């Protein structure tokens, strides 16, 4: 099985920078920064469709660049690097393509595990074959390894001077990783884990907690889903739905994030302003 980007934050910058801002707080629409002295609304969790984790947004996402922002800044930087490489005698150089989504389309899509019964029946815990192929093809088109690294480094440095890299900050990543792990230990999440485990036992599967099924070595080492994997995944989703595993876990994590964000609001707001400044700089060079 090809590696699937983990959505369980130790790194928020996953799956090609898949990050979405909390509704109403996106900086991708060109909103102006709050005036001095104006209270900045606290970041909150957002739930679109209660049945679809892909539509949920965690509070900390408000302080990370969106997918659109990341790709726009990356494209602007690529243009500058490409022009520099051309000037320095490497016209054949092309920037690495953006990696397509794999293992979820948003941060919360597969963060707490699979949740779509039809996809579980078709692919088990694997991504759809066409998604895997698109990801593999994009990796194969990356030609950056065939170029003079010193020249490329100098061009990247030049681009840095015009448009800085746009990335998730260490503070945001720390909050995301901490909240994910700590939420697993809360009483309410442990309770639904136990209920899920008992439910799986009635279907003939023995796992202590939901992520154990997806990480079963029999499934991870296979290039495609076996019938056993598909059957396990279908039972997994049914038991998750019965006890609202994803929503319980999400709610617990969102609450922890809100507490952690409150401890670092000034730093986080400064980082959000830096994202906006970088996006504005990239737009001015389009």
Confidence tier at 267 by pLDDT (50, 70, 90): very high
Q: How sure is the predictor about 143, in pLDDT bands with cuts at 50, 70 and 90?
A: low
Structure tokens at 62: 């408000």
| 3 SS3 class | coil
Is residue 41 pLDDT above 80, yes or no?
A: no
H-run or E-run covering 120: helix 117-123
Mean pLDDT of 9-32: 32
Separate counts of helices (H) and strands (E) for the chain: 11, 2
Q: Which residues pair with 47 in a beta bridge?
A: 56
Query: H or E segment at 57?
Result: strand 56-57
Digit-coded pLDDT (tens) for 183-233: 999 999 999 999 999 999 999 999 999 999 999 999 999 889 999 999 999
66 φ/ψ angles, rounded to the nearest 5 degrees: -75, 165
pTM over 0.75: yes
> What is the distance between the alpha carbons of residues 197 and 200, in angstroms, rounded to a whole number?
5
């Amino acid at each position: 099985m090809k590696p699937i980007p983990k959505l369980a934050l130790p790194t928020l910058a996953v799956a090609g920078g898949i990050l979405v801002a909390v509704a109403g707080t996106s900086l991708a629409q060109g909103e102006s920064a709050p005036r001095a002295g104006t209270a900045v609304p606290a970041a909150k969790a957002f739930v679109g469709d209660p049945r679809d984790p892909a539509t949920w947004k965690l509070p900390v996402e408000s302080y990370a660049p969106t997918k659109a922002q990341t790709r726009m800044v990356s494209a602007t930087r690529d243009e500058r690097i490409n022009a520099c490489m051309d000037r320095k005698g490497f016209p054949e150089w092309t920037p690495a393509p953006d990696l397509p989504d794999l293992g979820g389309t948003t941060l919360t899509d597969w963060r707490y595990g699979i949740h779509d019964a039809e996809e579980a029946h078709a692919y088990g815990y694997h991504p759809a074959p066409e998604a895997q192929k698109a990801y593999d093809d994009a990796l194969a088109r990356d030609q950056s390894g065939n170029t003079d690294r010193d020249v490329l480094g100098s061009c990247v440095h030049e681009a840095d001077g015009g448009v800085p890299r746009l990335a998730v900050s260490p503070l945001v990543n720390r909050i995301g990783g901490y909240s994910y792990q700590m939420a697993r230990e809360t009483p309410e999440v442990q309770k639904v884990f136990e209920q899920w485990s008992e439910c799986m036992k009635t279907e003939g599967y023995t796992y202590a907690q939901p992520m154990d099924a997806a990480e079963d070595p029999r499934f991870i080492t296979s290039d495609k889903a076996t019938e056993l994997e598909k059957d396990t995944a279908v039972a997994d989703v049914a038991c998750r739905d019965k006890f609202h595993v994803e929503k319980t876990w999400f709610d617990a994590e969102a609450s922890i994030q809100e507490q952690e964000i409150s401890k670092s609001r000034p730093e986080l707001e400064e980082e959000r302003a830096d994202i906006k400044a970088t996006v504005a700089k990239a737009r001015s060079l389009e």
